[in-house]
A = this chain, B = another copy of it.
Amino acid sequence: MALDDQVDGVDEAGVQPITRTPKGSGRRLRGAIAHYLGTQIVSGAIAPGEKLTGEVANAEALDVSRSAYREAVQVLTAKGLVESRPKAGTRVLPRSRWNMLDPQVLAWAFSGEPDTDFVRDLFELRAVVEPAAARLAAERRDRDDVKAMRDALAKMRRHTLATDAGRAADRDFHDALLEATHNNALVALSASIGAAVSWTTKYKQRARALPRDPVPDHIKVFDAIAAGDADAAAAAMRTLVDLALEDTRLSM
């Protein structure tokens, strides 16, 4: 939650895409620059190995100060997208060095047309992690965990997945589930997976009227975890992820 870059359409009428300052309603400037460069890179417009224009030239082309531009590049560097050295310039690193799990990078990846192969990979990761997480949650959940999950489930039922509140509740449910594993590494993964899932569900919306009601499946998972039945929890979660994959696949 709380990604801090949301930029409107990019290209002006002009030929070259120049970042305009959206004026009064602009996010932080370096955020916009990072978003612009990040999407360029992730989308492949600037291929790995290529070196992007020099700071001075590029900053001027984007009509921003060199400081702001540099800070944006630092962000990309921190996420493993680029590497810069004196004289050699700033080059895009091979994809294997990118922090694909970083929520912002995922956001950039999904800001254009999403790569269907990558979506498949993400669901495969979910299919590996979430059932195992459900199993652990069933073994370790305490009273508070159960309550958090129950509350999220109730909200989910009240609003549907068609509303923002409903999707937020869905995320809350999964967050609470991961939290119930009492494993910080898994919780960290949940942030990434959650971000990815929320992007895919956005695309699911595009093909309107999602056919299936996801609540019953969630309830099955919840019941198994509350009952402490690890095997049942894992199995229920597996089917839940499989169904989500199927829904997503249909809408792409």
A interface residues with partner B (beta carbon < 8 Å)? 30, 67, 70-71, 74-75, 77-80, 95-104, 117-118, 121-122, 124-125, 128-129, 132-133, 136, 183-189, 191-192
- Interfacial chain B residues near A102, Cβ < 8 Å: 99, 102
**Structural contact, B191 and A96, CB atoms closer than 8 A:** yes
Q: Do B187 and A96 touch (CB < 8 A)?
A: yes
Given A74-B30, A101-B189: A132 in contact with B121 (beta carbons within 8 A): no
Does B125 lie within 8 Å of A185, measured CB to CB?
A: yes
Contact partner of A121 (CB less than 8 A), chosen from B80, B97, B183, is B183
Name 8 A/B residue pairs within 8 A (Cβ), A-sorted: A67-B70, A100-B185, A100-B187, A102-B102, A118-B185, A125-B186, A128-B128, A128-B129
Q: A70-B71, A101-B192, A128-B133 are in contact. List 14 more A-B contacts (CB 8 A).
A: A30-B74, A67-B67, A75-B77, A75-B78, A78-B79, A99-B99, A99-B101, A100-B184, A101-B189, A117-B184, A121-B185, A121-B186, A124-B183, A128-B128
Q: Which residues of B contact A101 (CB under 8 A)?
A: 99, 101, 185, 188-189, 192
Q: How far is the CA of A132 from the CA of B183 in the complex (A)?
A: 19
Partner of A125, one of B74, B118, B189: B189
Question: How distant is A232 from chain B, measured CB to nearest CB, in Å?
Answer: 18
Chain B positions within 8 Å of A128 at CB level: 128-129, 132-133, 186
Pick the contact of A100 from B70, B71, B122, B188 — CB < 8 Å?
Answer: B188
Nearest chain B residue, comparing its CB with the CB of A1 = B97
Q: What is the CA–CA distance of A188 and B122 in the complex, to the nearest angstrom? A: 11
A86's closest neighbor in chain B, by CB?
A: B28
Cβ distance A187 to chain B, nearest Cβ, rounded Å:
6
* Contact B95 A184, beta carbon cutoff 8 Å: yes
- Alpha-carbon separation in the docked complex, A100 to B101 (Å): 10
**Nearest CB in chain B to that of A127: its residue:** B132
What residues of chain B lie closer than 8 Å to A124, measured between beta carbons?
Answer: 136, 183, 185-186
A252 to chain B, nearest CB (A): 16
A183, B119: Cα distance in complex, Å: 10
CA distance A242 to B49 in the complex (A): 39
Nearest CB of chain B from residue A233's CB, rounded to whole Å: 14
